[in-house]
Amino acid sequence: MEIKEKLGAIEAVLFASGEPIELYRLSQATAVDAGTLPSMIRLLNERYEDHGSGITIKKLDSSYQMCTREEYAPQIREALETKKNIPLSNAAMEVLTVIAYNQPVSKGFVENVRGVDSSSVVNNLVEKGLIEEAGRLDVPGKPVVYRTTSVFLRSFGMTSLAELPPLSDFKEKEQLEFDLEN
């Protein structure tokens, strides 16, 4: 393998990983000698510096990780905070409610309860970290099931799902509203 290809392989593995990779694993994955890797990573960092890149590769004990440069932390924080602070739609709140009270559940279950396609809402909730995959059902097609996360609990000020209000509270409120309207 040519040096340009080796540099590309190192960069690709570090980027795809997103987490620190031990020197020996990086060496195995890229077919680059472990003794040569530090100098090649230095070369990549020099290339990033020369081009004004927002990326760098950091050495963490015996591991390496691709990271953003510290000077771009304010911009990154702003982008991520903006994304996190977007209020949830009514549809997202409905899907969260169905999942929280019935978890783990499939998209099909959520769609049955709501009566509409909920795929994009479920995907957005996964992206926001409020729900996560919790395995697969042992039925034909093996659909993915979802559950709430610790981010869900923190976002709603709870320490456990036991703090969810009882469903009977909602049923009583719906009955009262129905009685008042009629």
CATH number for the domain including 50?
A: 1.10.10.10
Q: Give mean pLDDT, residues 150-163.
A: 85
Count of domains observed in the chain:
2
Residue 167 falls within a domain, yes or no? yes
Give the closest residue to 11 by CA, choosing from 72, 65, 59.
65
Give the closest residue to 146 by CA, choosing from 115, 173, 111, 175.
111
In the structure encoding, which two tokens stand for residue 111, read together?
């769609």
Q: Are 59 and 44 in contact (CB under 8 A)?
A: no
Task: Supply the pLDDT for residue 38.
Answer: 95
The 10 Å CB-count burial string (b at 16+, else e) for 133-152 is eeeeeeeeeeeebbbbbeeb
Q: Which pLDDT band, with edges at 50, 70 and 90, does 176 fall under?
A: very low
Task: Supply the pLDDT for residue 168.
Answer: 72
The neighbour count for residue 163, using CB atoms within 10 Å, is 10
Q: Give mean pLDDT, residues 24-40.
A: 94
Q: Give mean pLDDT, residues 108-126.
A: 92
What is the residue range of 171's domain? 90-181
Q: Among 46, 72, 98, give the residue marking a domain's end.
A: 72
Mean pLDDT for all residues in the chain: 87
Q: What's the number of CA atoms in the CB half-sphere (13 Å) around residue 156?
A: 20
pLDDT tens digits along 41-61: 999 999 999 999 999 999 888
In the structure encoding, which two tokens stand for residue 56, read together?
């760098």
157 pLDDT more than 70: yes
pTM more than 0.75: no
7 pLDDT more than 50: yes
Compute the C-alpha angle 118/123/128, nearest 5°. 125
Q: Give mean pLDDT, residues 103-128.
A: 92
Q: Are 31 and 1 in contact (CB under 8 A)?
A: yes
Percent of the chain with pLDDT over 90: 59
Residue 13 falls within a domain, yes or no? yes
